[in-house]
Amino acid sequence: LLIFDLDGTLADTQEDLADAVNATRAWAGLAPIPPEAIRLAIGDGAKALIARTVPFPGPVEEPLRHFIGYYGTRFAVRTRLYPGVTGVLEATRGRIRTVLTNKPERISRKILLELGVSEHFESVIGGDSLTTRKPDPAGAQALLAKHALPAREALLIGDSPVDVATAKAAGIACAAVLGGYAAPGAL
């Protein structure tokens, strides 16, 4: 069972996320921030991303609604697969391939479809699919159960310490992809 993270692992979603964050900052009366600052805030879901990048005097749900509205219609404008991803997916035909992400499931599925790789994945679990999200092991455990496989037959592929922590908590192996959204040296 191959469990792939989405943002920073399969796809470079940074530019579309940065556009949505800066549109939300403009809505809140704030100046834009550079994409690099936004990149380091990616990985724990939209609520955490907005809490980290859009200081707001009220509840985070207000700017979060704006962000989701904006990103929900512009999630694949500049999003691209990383070089080599298509080759990896072709080379792993015959394996069970899944996606486990903190991004909402509906948008994750749409991104995979827009990028032309949705047929490669048997299952997608998003940050809103369960009551918990990574690094909680429930998503990885649900994928193991759905595909009736023991933890020793799984590999989680991700780009952040959250992915590594998820794999450890689920008792499965992990391959860390360098060059994703983790802070330099975090992996």
Dihedral sign computed on CA atoms, order 73, 68, 166, 12: positive
5 carries an active-site annotation: yes
Q: What is the 3-state secondary structure of 86-114?
A: HHHHHHCCCCCEEEECCCCHHHHHHHHHH
Rounded CA-CA distance 167/65 in Å is 31
Tokens read off for 90: 């072709």
Of the candidates 5, 7, 19, 163, the residue annotated as catalytic is: 5
User: Which H or E element spans position 100?
Assistant: strand 97-100
Which residues participate in catalysis according to the annotation? 5
